[in-house]
């Protein structure tokens, strides 16, 4: 009898252990390659992903109608009356305006529907939706012979699951080759170019916005279109920014962090010995705050409202690892992005419909002599990282 009880307890113990482990989920990753001028790239994108683009437009409208309790087309039309971004896009990134037009033409969708897909952060700003912003990012400079890294858990609404896309741009005289994480119909979420310039982003809803500035997706692509350190940094510092956003930029062996708003761009430099940077979704140094978010002013970082917030809890989880003495490489960065120190506010977010958002994909950009990307489709504790470079895909992790 005693042995039976022992076996039963042991079985129960291991069952509980196994049930606590995340279940591996295979999510498809669409891969496309585009080339040519902006319009040509867009048409190729639209044709290759036409069915997915039609589906995600429909899901976006359903999600918007449900979330705002209003007809999505009415909201879209009102938003586009507010959103006067055409001038800035044509000034700073004219080929990308053409690219969005090409996506619409290639997919057979209305231009304004595709445009709003590419104004992701700007639409969130318009509806003042702070609930869906849970991205966690970090940057590690080259240390002890290891390359520099820029990494992020990209968190989006759950309706985007299944639309993950790896897009390659074959460049030429005008722009470098690029590897981009995106979803169907969108020009970019984050990415890297062949010169070892990479950028990841975090929404900073609390910062002032500009309805005539350059939208986030276009800023990202503008950075990745640059060929060297000086031009990449000048671009992010000098454009007129449409939305409050944090940009972690890796260039060669260095990493930089900038909080951008309508009226200023401020560099965030943590006081740590290893030179790492990290960010979530509240401003740490930029004081260009919207009046109704004054409780999140950088001078108020130690208040309970901020320290107990989703963003601050995740920031503490990332910071504790980046500021530690542990070796920082692709493996330890993966551990950081898979972390769940807080059940309520984890860095790695499971797809739960009732939560509204999840980790859409996790990326680690390595900026050594031969830049490559490690990409997990969906939450990284449910998925294995796959490796991609400017040649072909490789299986497994790399340091």
Q: How confident is the model at residue 212 (pLDDT cuts 50, 70, 90)?
A: very high
Indicate whether 362 belongs to any domain. Answer: yes
Burial of 112 from C-beta contacts in 10 A (0-12 / 13-18 / 19+): middle
Tell me if 85 is assigned to some domain. Answer: no
Task: Look at residue 159 and tell me whether its pLDDT is greater than 50.
Answer: yes
Question: Does 358 map to a domain?
Answer: yes
Q: Is the pTM of this model over 0.85?
A: yes
Give percent above pLDDT 70 in the chain.
90
Per-residue DSSP letters for 203-217? E-TTB---TTSB-HH
| pLDDT (average), residues 159-171 | 97
State yes or no: pLDDT of 343 exceeds 70.
Answer: yes
136: in domain: yes
Mean pLDDT, rounded, of the chain: 91
Q: Which domain holds residue 233?
A: 132-389
Query: How high is the pLDDT of residue 187?
Result: 99
> 387 — phi, psi (to 5°)?
-110, 135
The whole-number pLDDT of residue 10 equals 45
Q: Would you say residue 289 lies in a domain?
A: yes
pLDDT tens per residue, range 92-126: 999 999 999 999 999 999 999 999 999 999 999 99
**103 is a domain residue:** no
Domain of 194, CATH number, reads: 3.60.60.10
User: What is the domain count for the chain?
Assistant: 1
Bin 321: left if φ > 0, else alpha if -120 < ψ < 50, else beta.
alpha
207 forms beta bridges with 289
Residue 62 CB contacts under 8 Å (≥ 6 apart), including other chains: 72, 159
User: With 80 as the cut, is the pLDDT of residue 356 above it?
Assistant: no
- Token pair, residue 63, equals 């999600």
pLDDT at 314: 97
Q: pLDDT per residue over 364-377, tens digit each?
A: 999 988 999 999 99
Instruction: Tell me the three state secondary structure of residue 187.
Output: coil
Inside any domain, residue 188 = yes
Whether 224 is in a domain gets the answer: yes
DSSP character at residue 385: -
């Amino acid at each position: 009898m005693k042995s039976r009880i022992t076996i039963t307890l042991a079985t129960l113990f291991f069952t509980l252990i196994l049930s606590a482990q995340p279940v591996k989920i295979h999510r498809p990753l669409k891969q496309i390659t585009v080339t040519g001028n902006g319009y040509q790239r867009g048409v190729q994108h639209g044709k290759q992903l036409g069915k997915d683009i039609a589906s995600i437009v429909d899901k976006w409208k359903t999600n918007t109608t449900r979330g705002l309790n209003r007809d999505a087309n009415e909201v879209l039309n009102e938003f586009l009356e507010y959103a006067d971004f055409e001038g800035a896009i044509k000034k700073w990134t004219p080929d990308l305006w053409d690219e969005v037009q090409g996506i619409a033409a290639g997919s057979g969708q209305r231009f304004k529907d595709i445009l709003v897909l590419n104004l992701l952060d700007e639409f969130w700003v318009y509806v003042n939706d702070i609930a869906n912003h849970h991205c966690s990012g970090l940057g590690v400079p080259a240390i002890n012979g290891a390359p520099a890294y820029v990494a992020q858990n990209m968190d989006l609404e759950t309706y985007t699951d299944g639309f993950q896309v790896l897009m390659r741009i074959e460049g030429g005289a005008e722009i470098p080759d690029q590897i981009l994480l995106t979803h169907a119909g969108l020009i970019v979420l984050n990415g890297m170019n062949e010169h070892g310039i990479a950028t990841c982003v975090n929404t900073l809803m609390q910062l002032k916005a500009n309805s005539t500035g350059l939208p986030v997706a276009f800023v990202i692509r503008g950075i990745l279109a640059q060929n060297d350190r000086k031009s990449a940094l000048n671009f992010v510092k000098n454009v007129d920014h449409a939305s409050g956003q944090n940009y972690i930029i890796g260039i060669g062996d260095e990493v930089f962090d900038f909080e951008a708003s309508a009226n200023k761009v401020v560099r965030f430099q943590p006081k740590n010995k290893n030179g790492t940077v990290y960010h979530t979704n509240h401003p740490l140094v930029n004081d260009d705050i919207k009046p109704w978010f004054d409780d999140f002013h950088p001078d108020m970082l130690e208040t309970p409202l901020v320290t107990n917030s989703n963003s601050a809890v995740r920031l503490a989880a990332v910071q504790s690892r980046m500021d530690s003495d542990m070796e920082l490489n692709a493996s330890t960065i993966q551990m950081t992005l898979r972390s769940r120190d807080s059940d309520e506010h984890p860095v790695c977010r499971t797809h739960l419909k009732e939560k509204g958002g999840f980790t859409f994909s996790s990326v680690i950009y390595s900026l050594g002599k031969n830049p490559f990307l490690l990409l997990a489709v969906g939450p990284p504790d449910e998925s294995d990282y796959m490796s991609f470079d400017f040649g072909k895909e490789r299986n497994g992790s790399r340091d």
